[in-house]
Structure 1
């Protein structure tokens, strides 16, 4: 058998084409913008609002005559009126006034014997167990009312904002009156009624006192259209449910200290 001839394959190298070098793109000269220092705007002393500035209102005496002016806290009487927040404050207040007294007893809570009334069979009557079953008079109640906590929480900041909205709304409608000399009035109903008529509070009115003022309370408690509340207990519901707000001049510092200052 003839031997196979081995052939040697020769590979020829192809010459590489020279790659043309790309020229770098010309760089553009970037000019830096010069930033000038920003000067802070400083208010002059005459342009800056005075410290503790409030909303000026007139003060009337017990005869209805103007006796001076006083400033009300801007946090309460120049606030942004938020209708939704006021509605929420009223809802929370009314919910917290509800009592949780309605309650009935189930068959497990009613007093009575646990003995079986009669035997299970042989009597011809319906099968019964304990006498405390709901089917019997004096037995337990099925699905009756149970104690329920209606309390709702309301943050302090939201409470102050709601009160500020209500007071601002009343001030805008001209229903806020500041009275001086009311604590010196003789504690009789007829004098309080004359004062209310003189200052224009002839409809449902809320009188805000600086605290416990027995003479003022005694003179005002028998007037049907008048409600009394201390300044530290003022709330949105009482402001909105009365047409006129009468503030004793001595109650304004208490109001500012309780609600206007940050706590």
Structure 2
């Protein structure tokens, strides 16, 4: 399929042919749901455990005589009531490390890209090169381009430094290289903005 290419000044810059195998497949909610869940689970840190009675490095020798001490009977110093003893009913270790087939992950990314094309929420720019990192100037360009409530902007191998700095203070605008493309970020923004270089990188990622 063909899509119009525009510049940052909202001027026409020809067309680009999008690969139907990457940008033209039918999206499935179940595949996208699986990939997003996998991403969010992978982002979670390991829940660290506390040391319980059996984990504390203290002597197992009986604390005192069973009778005659005038205090309660204790088996050893690892009991939770003592300083340095084990934690009673402590937190258990939980390691969030799910697995998902590479083919499913790749399919999910293709579907997320295709969904943006189908809903006309994909904009292709010639490039995002700026000479100066001026936020006000970039805001004026964004108003012309119509990015919607939020936008994810992807460039080729390296994001233009001036553009990255200028967009830092703009809410709901995120910038990344094509190498970081993922389902969650694409679906989490109303508009997806790709440069010509980003389109080439994404297509090469699946066809290479």
TM-score greater than 0.5 by the shorter chain: yes
Larger relative contact order (Cα-Cα within 8 Å, sequence gap ≥ 6): 2
1:24 is matched with: none
1:252 is matched with: 199
Cα deviation per residue 1:168-218 (whole Å; 9 max; x = unaligned)?
111111110011241244222222222221110141110111122222222
**Whole-angstrom distance in 1 between the partners of 2:113 and 2:120:** 11
Unaligned runs of 5+ in 2: none
Q: What's the RMSD between the two structures over aligned residues?
A: 1.9
Which protein shows a greater Rg?
1
**Deviation, structure 1 residue 113:** 5.0
2:51 corresponds, among 93, 97, 105, to 105
SS in 1 for 2:14: strand
Determine if contact 1:100/1:150 at 8 Å carries over to the other structure.
yes
1:167 is matched with: 113
Determine if contact 1:185/1:191 at 8 Å carries over to the other structure.
no
CA, structure 1 residues 192+180, in 2 after alignment: closer, same or farther (shift >3 Å)? same
1:128 matched to 2:102? The reply is no
Determine if contact 1:205/1:245 at 8 Å carries over to the other structure.
yes
**Deviation, structure 1 residue 97:** 0.3
1:203 is matched with: 149
Cα deviation per residue 1:95-127 (whole Å; 9 max; x = unaligned)?
000000422111233354555332221124221
Q: TM-score, normalised by structure 1?
A: 0.72
1:229 matched to 2:176? The reply is yes
